[in-house]
Amino acid sequence: MHTKHYSRTIFTISIAAYLVLDHVGLTKAASEVSNYDFWPSNILGKRAMQLVRDHLSRRQERKKSRSSKQICYDMVGCFPIPRSSYSPLMKSPQSPDTVDTKFLVMTRQNRSDLILIKYGDRHVSMANSNFKPELPTKIIIHGFKGSGHDKVAKLLGNALLDLEDANVIFVDWEKGAAGPGYALAAANTQLIGRQLAILITDMVALNGDPARIHMIGFSLGAHVAGFAGKALKLLDIRVGRITGLDPASPLFRQMLSASLLSLSADDAAFVDVVHTDGARIWSEGFGLFNPIGDVDYFPNGGLDQPGCEQVRGSVIVSRFEGTMNSSVVCNHLRALQFFLESLKAVSDPDACQFTAFPCHTGWSMFQRGECFPTNCTDSNCVTMGFAASQSKLRGPLYLTTRDSSPFCGRQLKASVLLSPKTPKLRGYLQISLEDGDNTANFKLRTKHMDYISGGLLAEGLSVATYEKSVQKHLNIELSFQSLAYQTENEKYGLNSNIDVVVDKISIFDTEGNVWSNCTENSNLIHVDGTTIYAQTYSLSLFANC
């Protein structure tokens, strides 16, 4: 009875006070609240005074937010409210309660039963979990439409724990990543980044070493890591590494003043980025095309990945409406698949490594083989993926991959020297290499693009299945596809008897091996009923030409 009377009295006094505040207004109410004569002198009155002061403080914060074009949330701070007429696609982050971010801890002691920890609870939940501050910490952050419980996230966490004893933390912002549209999910990356930053300060307070923290973010998750790094930088905390797996492009391209800040090299001591679905123009792909990290890897040029159906037309709709299918996101997901595969190779010295190398003249020259290292060393080649932190190189790096798992393979460069007897012909050369049950295809390029002529060197790249042992012989088919029929005034057309004469064929790998066929004046043979000329050859390892 006494408790009910106490609560009812506070409630009655509080309601009366709220009515007074609404009547006199916020400004006058603020001064009245400070005047203790306004309140009864007993304990009930003081309790009611505190309730009203808390209520008034929240109202003042909301009013301040409206007047300064900001929206503010407890602990994480304020965010700008975009003007809809100025930037209709830009949004403000949702509230922490709506997003409902969860941080889940996995260790070698609890691989299946993840432990929930919270930020800002004075480290209580973290201290009561399996989190060990003396161990390295890996933080995995999913992207748009993702979840911390995704199968690939669990695969990644377990693979990391197979390599070393560590804390693995999944950032589960599923509700914030769901949208309903992409623009809202993109805006939420700012909020999630600050929440993560607070969690990391809790780790540091428990004597965790920020230099041993590695954030791994896919798509929008890469920018979450970036925002966390930016917030920590204001507190003079710098995490050791951020890996951005195809960081999302829409609304992060820095081409408009209203763009969100993307992940950058300043957000951690070392930032490595893998680009697999780059968008040179905003409608092309899901990922950023320009370098943004200390090291940026561009497998297959960072654009169209082998084995993926190229469906650019549907990308615009799927990005902003939130519709997804495997064809649309195939290129985008490759970054995650490459990184996961790289983890399995770290502990196996005989496994294939994603070897990457610089090409200062860009991807087009890389495709022609001009930057291909025929003998990799630590000074001209590095590894993409988990081992990237050991890289001595900086800037954009390139490599080629296979079209299916395992994606890592033996990278090859083919070179064909045309005899002076070959006239100028419109078309292109191609090599098909027997690769077990598969075929590795090279599209060869000359300096004249779609023309060949005598004395020119045609070169191209491909990837074969990786085997530690090196084959003594390679069987190939070299073909020429004539494009003469596309031009009316071309001399040569269908079934024409033209001469494509070859003097030397060589294939190089990155380990110093070279296979060659040195038969001079070898003619390609016309394939009846087509505009193709072809010939098969056997190439020998270290042939004496």
Q: What is the pLDDT of residues 136-184, one digit of tens each?
A: 999 999 999 898 889 999 999 999 999 999 999 999 999 999 878 888 9
Residues 26-65, buried b or exposed e (16+ Cβ, 10 A)? Answer: eeebbebbeeeeebeeeebbebbbeebeeebeeeeeeeeb
Note the pLDDT tens digit of each residue in 46-56: 555 565 555 55
The full DSSP string for 295-325 is EEEEEGGGSSPTTS---GGGHHHHHHH----
User: 340 and 218 in contact (C-beta within 8 Å)?
Assistant: no
E strand or H helix that includes residue 332: helix 326-346
The full DSSP string for 32-62 is HHH-GGGS-SSHHHHHHHHHHHHHHHHHHHH
Active-site annotation holds for 275: no
CA gap 334, 329 in Å, rounded: 9
CA gap 469, 440 in Å, rounded: 18
Instruction: Please give the residue that has the higher pLDDT: either 114 or 287.
Output: 114
β-sheet with 167-172: strand ranges across? 115-117, 102-106, 167-172, 137-141, 213-218, 241-245, 270-274, 295-299, 395-399
Instruction: Please give the residue that has the higher pLDDT: either 101 or 57.
Output: 101
pLDDT confidence band for 432 (50 / 70 / 90): very high
CA gap 297, 276 in Å, rounded: 9
Helical packing angle, 2-24 and 26-34, nearest 10°: 130
Tokens coding 59: 């109202």
Q: Which of 44-53, 154-163, 301-310, 355-364 has the lowest mean pLDDT?
A: 44-53
pLDDT given at position 111: 93
Cα atoms found within 13 Å of the Cα of residue 199, Cβ hemisphere only: 27
Percent of the chain scoring above 90 in pLDDT: 54
Q: How many CB atoms lie within 10 A of CB 289?
A: 20
Q: CA distances (Å), 405 to each of 157, 278, 462, 464, in order? A: 20, 21, 15, 12
pLDDT given at position 542: 87
User: 414 and 506 in contact (C-beta within 8 Å)?
Assistant: yes
Rounded to the nearest integer, the mean pLDDT of the chain is 82
Q: Which of 219, 249, 318, 516 is catalytic?
A: 219
User: 218 and 245 in contact (C-beta within 8 Å)?
Assistant: yes
Q: Is the pLDDT of residue 298 over 70?
A: yes
Q: Which of 332, 391, 509, 516 is catalytic?
A: 332
pLDDT confidence band for 413 (50 / 70 / 90): very high
pLDDT confidence band for 449 (50 / 70 / 90): confident
CA gap 45, 34 in Å, rounded: 13
Please name the residues in contact with 57: beta carbons below 8 A apart, sequence gap of 6 or more: none
Alpha helices in 465-525 (DSSP H): none
pLDDT given at position 20: 40
Q: Which of 150, 172, 202, 246 is catalytic?
A: 246
Most confident by average pLDDT, 230-244, 300-314, 488-502: 230-244
Active-site annotation holds for 522: no
Active-site annotation holds for 219: yes
Q: CA distances (Å), 279 to each of 227, 250, 302, 312, 545, in order? A: 22, 9, 9, 10, 44
C-alpha dihedral (94, 100, 101, 102), degrees to nearest 10:
180
Where are the extended beta strands (E) located within 366-409? Answer: 382-383, 395-399
